[in-house]
Structure 1
Amino acid sequence: MTAAPTPVLAPVTVAVIDSGIASPPGAPVALARAFRPAQDGSVRAVPPEPDTLGHGSAVARLVREACPDARLLDAQVFGRHSATSAGLVAAGLTWAVEQGADVCVLSLGLRSDRAVLAEAVAAALAAGVTVVASAPARGGPVWPAAYPGVVRVSGDARCGVGELSWFGDGGGAAEYGACPGVVVEPGRQPTGGASFAAARIAGLLAAARAAGTWAAGEAPEVWLRAAARFVGRERRVSAGG
């Protein structure tokens, strides 16, 4: 009896909405646009500049570490400085959805809620796109992580590479954790934190979709909670106890 052929799944498309992507491992970036403010208050889509911050490139590398075959989209919403706006982020997210993104990772957090970003996130979720964003484990909300339906991620020192945690209680800004992954860029100081944890979870979701273990149309939290290595928040012990 001939075995049934293994189904061939389409490549999973991950949009990195960040500072740009320089030379990711594996296949090159499929599409890239930069989003810049115009004098009339609108947003211009222009060719991207080099990633001078290095942050988006690190995020892309972590996504590809988890899912080497991911098709990457580069939505550059930071320029030469680590500051952006809700309008630019919303424009990058909308563009990514239009280009067929399955997962969008936003390793950033804005302190103020804005209608333009809320509308862009709601439209992405309605289109079936999974939106992953970084958030502090504790403290006040940041956006887009605070919007309903967004996968909210913080760093969790318990997690190794390829592991994730589900905080479980619904409290705090973040709901899931992953390895904060100290990333060393040539010529830069070591960095790490919630933004890289979000990248890792976006990559794990992409890999699960590529492998068929997370089905299209299934809510991401179903797979995330089943895959969690740890449930509950990380307990911090002081030196005195």
Structure 2
Amino acid sequence: MTGRPPLVGVIDSGGPEADLAGGRLFLPDGTWVAARPDRLGHGTAVAEVIRRALPDARIVHAQVFQDRPVTTAIQVASALDWLAGRKADVICLSLGLAADRVPLSRAALAAVAAGRIVVAAAPARGGPCYPAAYPGVIAATGDARCDWDGLSALEGGVIGAWCGSPEQGGTGQGGASLAAARVAGHLAARIAAGARFADGAAARDALAGAARFHGPECRGCA
């Protein structure tokens, strides 16, 4: 690997105090303050997955949760704008909003147009989730068939990945949120190794091309 390691933006609940230098906490009115230590542990877990994939990854936290896993479109949009402006190589959102909101769509599409690779959680059940459902955003979901290195190519261009599931030995947090972190880690490791992607669609195609599984997850799949 040459040059500086990839910069990965994590939009979540922050991280431990030692990992917050340069991070920001985005407030519901669109303003921000310096990031605060993670009270939920979710952002910390996401960052650990990314660093397991690429120990040298430069991670910057854009905090949109504090005491509860509840946020707003304005907060997430502000975080996206900031990380896009910082030219993050990969932006990971291990979260999703049920409603399509103008500020969020504008920020997500602007980040994609600026060449940022945006990965967002897409739960396997329920309706569309945003920003995962926006064009150019890589939608990631958990697939119990996938070991740490495995990927799956699912309907609608969704990428399935390791997600800490019990089938793969997981005992803690899991689901689409960790799958998004794992996909972000896959991409960060590829970028560190010299891969270059024209846009999010190209990055998604590269992951799909390396997929071990195709089609929906099912019990007993080989």
Runs of 4+ residues over 2 Å off in structure 1: 28-31
SS of 1:31 mapped into structure 2: coil
AA at the equivalent of 2:172: P
**Where does 1:2-41 land on structure 2 (aligned, <5 Å)?**
8-22=2-16, 28=19, 31-37=22-28
AA at the equivalent of 1:190: G
Counterpart for residue 187 of structure 2: 205
- Scaled by the length of structure 2, the TM-score of the pair is 0.90
- What percent of counterpart residues are identical? 50
Once residues 129 and 22 of structure 1 are traced to their aligned partners in structure 2, the CA distance between those partners, rounded to angstroms, is 25
**Where does 1:1-241 land on structure 2 (aligned, <5 Å)?**
8-22=2-16, 28=19, 31-37=22-28, 42-167=29-154, 169-170=155-156, 175-182=158-165, 190-212=172-194, 214-217=195-198, 219-236=202-219
Once residues 121 and 158 of structure 2 are traced to their aligned partners in structure 1, the CA distance between those partners, rounded to angstroms, is 10
Which string of whole-angstrom CA distances, capped at 9 and with x for unpartnered residues, describes residues 96-130 of structure 1? 11122010000101111100000000110011001
AA at the equivalent of 2:142: G
Residue pair 2:20, 2:35 contacting (<8 A) in 1 also: no
AA at the equivalent of 1:65: R
SS of 2:27 mapped into structure 1: strand
Which structure has the highest helix share of the two?
2
TM-fit CA distance, 1:57: 0.4
Once residues 82 and 157 of structure 1 are traced to their aligned partners in structure 2, the CA distance between those partners, rounded to angstroms, is 24
Over aligned residue pairs, what C-alpha RMSD do you find? 1.9
Which has the greater radius of gyration? 1
Residue pair 2:151, 2:208 contacting (<8 A) in 1 also: no
The number of equivalent residue pairs is: 214
SS of 1:165 mapped into structure 2: strand
Residue pair 1:66, 1:162 contacting (<8 A) in 2 also: no
Structure 1 stretches lacking a partner, 5+ long = 1-6, 184-188
TM-fit CA distance, 1:23: 6.1
SS of 1:109 mapped into structure 2: coil
Residue pair 2:17, 2:37 contacting (<8 A) in 1 also: no
TM-fit CA distance, 1:19: 0.2
